[in-house]
Amino acid sequence: MSSLSVTDYHAGTGAGTLVLLHGFPVDRRMWDSTASLVDASWRVLGVDLPGLGGSATILPEPPTMAASAWAVREALEGRVVPGAPVVFAGLSMGGYVVQAAMRDYGELLDGVILLDTRSGADTPEARANRLRIADESEASGAAHAVLGMAKDTLCEASVQRRPELVEFQRSVIESQTGTGIAWSQRAMAGRPDTADTLREWGKPALVIVGQEDQITSVDVMREVAELLATDAFMVIPEAGHMSPVEQPALVAAEINGFLRAKFTAR
Ligand code: MLT
């Protein structure tokens, strides 16, 4: 049995399977509002990545994005629509997992959606900072060290005028365990550069970024789109790093347009 928790948002009517992977330090709840707006003909699944949300059990493998990607694959066994396209969508850390899946079992995927993520590895400073936060979180057993990300992941307008979103982010982050935070940080710290994987992809790809993303900027995401050689590059207004939390209707509209354009039988 898979160690990851999978949420069946809707069963679909056979068009294909869309798998939603969340960012850090949250869980699949960041996708809830968007998932309910995705084309009803698609089966939509949300996976809680290792150590987070309903997947609190820590994987026995050393922490890597590849281990997360293989755990996702295992969790999907028997759940994808047979003979229909499979599309992975990942935001930020979820995007790192999608890129590991593209590299390690890309033949099983028919398309990808990358949101608010990057292809570059960490700088030595960023890596050291992650490992420090990992140690701190493990020692405290809680998510305090990353609670500040509740605001950092939202755009200024959301922080000022949408207190319910700040509260949502805060409560989802606070519900994570210190060991889950530590596993994820260590996994992200060691991730490799994925530029070659993106260059070699050659299948449908959509790239989405919040206009005011302070963590993975519009320029960083433009680079991702260039590596993928896709012109499906969408900038979401009034959104920061968590574009599906802040603008679910706009993000869902982009996803639906992509699924329709690339996967509807003609
Ligand atoms: C995320 O949202 O998943 C994180 O910002 C990713 C990261 O820390 O690189």
Ligand 1 nearest-atom number relative to CA 117 = 6
**Is 128 part of any domain?**
no
**Angstrom distance (rounded) from CA 165 to CA 210:** 15
**Is 131 part of any domain?**
no
Decide: 228 and 95 in contact? Cβ < 8 Å. Answer: no
**Is 116 part of any domain?**
yes
**Is 155 part of any domain?**
no
Q: Helix, strand, or coil here: 42? A: strand
Helix orientation angle between 93-105 and 178-189, rounded to the nearest 10 degrees: 50
Ligand 1 nearest-atom number relative to CA 241 = 2
Q: Is 188 in the pocket of ligand 1 (CB under 6 A)?
A: yes
| CATH number of the structural domain spanning residue 241 | 3.40.50.1820
**Is 156 part of any domain?**
no
What pLDDT is stored for residue 265 in this prediction? 67
List of residues 6+ apart from 125 with CB closer than 8 A: none
Q: Which of 188, 194, 208, 242 to mutate to test the pocket of ligand 1 (most atoms within 8 A of CB)?
A: 188
Q: For residue range 13-37, what is the model confidence (pLDDT) as tens digits?
A: 999 999 999 999 999 999 999 999 9
pTM above 0.90, yes or no: yes
**Angstrom distance (rounded) from CA 115 to CA 128:** 25
**Angstrom distance (rounded) from CA 97 to CA 102:** 9
* Complex ipTM value: 0.95
**Angstrom distance (rounded) from CA 203 to CA 9:** 25
**Is 147 part of any domain?**
no
Helix%, strand%, coil% for the chain, nearest 5: 45, 15, 40
- Tokens describing residue 29: 């709840």
DSSP β-ladder status, 86-91 and 6-10:
unpaired
What pLDDT is stored for residue 1 in this prediction? 54
**Is 139 part of any domain?**
no
Total domains in the chain come to: 1
Burial class of residue 75, CB neighbours in 10 A (0-12, 13-18, 19+) = buried
One-letter amino acid for residue 55 of the chain: S
Residues spanned by the domain of 67: 6-122+192-263
CB atoms within 10 A of CB 121: 17
Print pLDDT tens along the chain (266 aa): 568 999 999 999 999 999 999 999 999 999 999 999 999 999 999 999 999 999 988 888 899 999 999 999 999 999 999 999 999 999 999 999 999 999 999 999 999 999 999 999 999 999 999 999 999 999 999 999 999 999 999 999 999 999 999 999 999 999 999 999 999 999 999 999 999 999 999 999 999 999 999 999 999 999 999 999 999 999 999 999 999 999 999 999 999 999 999 998 65
For residue 217, how far is its CA from the centre of ligand 1 (angstroms)?
12
**Is 46 part of any domain?**
yes
For residue 41, how far is its CA from the centre of ligand 1 (angstroms)?
30
For residue 82, how far is its CA from the centre of ligand 1 (angstroms)?
32
